[in-house]
Amino acid sequence: MIKLSGPLASKIDRGSKLYQKLSAANSRLSNKDATLWGAAAQAEAAVRLNWVDLPESSRELLPALDALAAKFKGRELILCGMGGSSLAPEVIAGTFKKRAFIFDLTDPNYAAHALNRDLSNSVVLVSSKSGSTIETASQRAAMESALTKQGLDPKSHLIFVTDPDSPLDKEVRAGGYTVINADPNVGGRFSALSAFGLVPTALLDIDPSILLDSAAAQKIELLKDENSAIDLAYLMFTNSEQFVAFADSAEIPGLSDWIEQLIAESTGKDQKGRVPVVIADSKEAIGSEQMRITFASGGDLVVSGDLGEHFITWEWATALLGVALEVDPFNQPNVTEAKNATSELLAEWSNQLPDSTALPATQTPEQALKELVANCEGYIAILAYLDRKEDIALLELRKLLAEKSGKPVTFGWGPRFQHSTGQFHKAGQPNGSFLIITADSKEDFAIAGKEFTFQTLVMAQALGEFRALGARKYPVARIHLTDRASGISEILAAAKSL
């Protein structure tokens, strides 16, 4: 059972009007009442609430998951997906100490980790509700090409998770591939306990019923008039106006990133919301506005429990936070904007990356960082379109900028963040300052069926984001690295000298 402790736990006022409002909403949520978030949200909510039932309904998948686990036992998992379909599996893999490569970026250097390996002992899972997400479609096409080049039959290595009767479902079933359907009435960031989370669980040789059993037991607790999900929603609304800091525990690595996507994309609308700020450890200095949530010790609020309990509780709390904020937690209108900006640039470029002289000007690290800190009104967001394995040293920049500016600083790997905090950046409180970091790559990869390569795609995504943020008159700077290692060192040195 999820338990709350720490100083903030004493601030829960269960007799307050807000708590009573959330408690009343809680019973309606358990009955999947689509009117909870207002008339404008009702149509979307009506087809997005089956996550409430997943601790029970997902048991129907267990026989098929057992068969998959037996068939692909011992294979190395490569997962192509974005948003909730990649973040939840990454938490699951880390928690159970399993190895998986999460192919959720479009940087060619990152893609090389999947495309240049020996794939003979791999199973490639493609997770997409419709198949239309440009990142996942590109990753899938590249993986199929890599398998074919190695003389391997893609049908023996590829598995698909998608909604029933989606364009992807129809295509791959006709092609003879293995397909598992997910519940179409569950949105991506609420899908941890659906096929999108449980298929990779089984492929990692983890018993999916472990997650379902703990989530089902926790759900019984969440049906009570006073419970941890109501408590969390209440505290995030009353003890923060915008920022909530999260620090991982060693037992559940990556949980903060999953929660970041869930809360930021669900609540960042109508110029309000809550943006999680993922910090390295519970002792890190943060701005006075932030409440600090940890999962082991040291936080203003310590939230303890196992992974299945966390999944259902944070989804439940996020839905209730939407009630308190009066926003629709199930739509993500500005994610579509990011996709459109990418498509527009690809069309303008005729699918070929222009010479650097034809691209928006870049700044030196010193210029960019000084301007961002000087112009920051609310928070700084670092958006790094790089390789999150080899370029991991850049993560230090978030802590350095937080110390130098005294402001909350978020860090997102691009384009992954576009399916997470990207929604908040454009539609939450309009007080962000943004640093976009792009880079040349050691090699590039063609994408079968497309006229553009991964390098062209990642640059279109980065510069599309640059354009979208600039159109809002937000402070936004770009640094481009021609040599990644030396460039990252230069950025960190510039941050230290602020």
pLDDT of residue 334 exceeding 90, the answer is no
Question: How confident is residue 473, by pLDDT bands cut at 50, 70 and 90?
Answer: very high
pLDDT of residue 199 exceeding 90, the answer is yes
Question: How confident is residue 337, by pLDDT bands cut at 50, 70 and 90?
Answer: confident
Contact in structure between 209 and 59 (CB atoms under 8 Å): yes
| Cα distance between residue 264 and residue 262, in whole Å | 6
pLDDT of residue 422 exceeding 80, the answer is yes
Do strands 409-413 and 301-304 pair parallel, antiparallel, or not at all (unpaired)?
unpaired
The first and second tokens of residue 434, run together, are 């943004």
Angstrom CA distances, 122 to 94, 106, 181, 253, stand at 19, 20, 21, 24
Q: What are phi and psi of 415, to 5 degrees?
A: -90, 15
| 432-443: average pLDDT | 97
Tell me which of 189-198, 237-246, 281-290, 459-468 is least confident. 281-290
pLDDT tens string 50-66: 999 999 999 999 999 99
Under DSSP, the state recorded for 3 is E
CB-side neighbour CA atoms (13 Å) of 157: 25
Average pLDDT, the chain: 96
Of 259, 235, 233, 237, residue with least CA distance to 319: 233
The first and second tokens of residue 176, run together, are 């003879």
DSSP assignment of 220-256, as one string? Answer: HHHTSSS-HHHHHHHHHHHS-SSEEEEE--SSSTTHH
Instruction: Give the model's pLDDT for residue 284.
Output: 83
| 281-298: average pLDDT | 82
Sign of CA dihedral 83, 84, 88, 91: positive
Q: What percentage of residues in the chain have a pLDDT greater than 90?
A: 94
pLDDT of residue 288 exceeding 80, the answer is no
Q: 438 forms bridges with which residues in the sheet? A: 480
More confident: 333 or 275:
275
pTM for this structure?
0.97
pLDDT of residue 285 exceeding 80, the answer is no
pLDDT of residue 174 exceeding 70, the answer is yes
Instruction: Give the model's pLDDT for residue 402.
Output: 94
pLDDT tens string 131-146: 989 999 999 999 999 9
| Cα distance between residue 446 and residue 15, in whole Å | 60
Tracing tokens 């928070």 back to the chain, one arrives at 379
pLDDT of residue 247 exceeding 90, the answer is yes
Instruction: Give the model's pLDDT for residue 281.
Output: 86
pLDDT of residue 287 exceeding 80, the answer is no
For the beta sheet containing 301-304, the strands, ordered from the edge strand earlier in sequence to the opposite edge, are: 3-5, 301-304, 291-294, 243-247, 275-279
Instruction: Give the model's pLDDT for residue 289.
Output: 66
Instruction: Give the model's pLDDT for residue 39.
Output: 96
Tracing tokens 């976009």 back to the chain, one arrives at 436
Question: How confident is residue 290, by pLDDT bands cut at 50, 70 and 90?
Answer: confident
Spatial neighbors of 468 by CB under 8 A, at least 6 apart, are 337, 338, 341, 426
Question: How confident is residue 357, by pLDDT bands cut at 50, 70 and 90?
Answer: confident
Q: How many CB atoms sit inside 10 A of residue 11's CB?
A: 14
Instruction: Give the model's pLDDT for residue 298.
Output: 85
Type of residue at 102: I
| Cα distance between residue 219 and residue 29, in whole Å | 12
| 404-421: average pLDDT | 94
Question: How confident is residue 149, by pLDDT bands cut at 50, 70 and 90?
Answer: very high
pLDDT of residue 97 exceeding 70, the answer is yes
Tell me which of 11-15, 172-176, 286-290, 447-451 is least confident. 286-290
| 381-397: average pLDDT | 98
Contact in structure between 198 and 211 (CB atoms under 8 Å): yes
In the chain, the domains with their CATH numbers are 3-53+212-325 (3.40.50.10490), 72-206 (3.40.50.10490), 333-496 (3.40.50.10490)
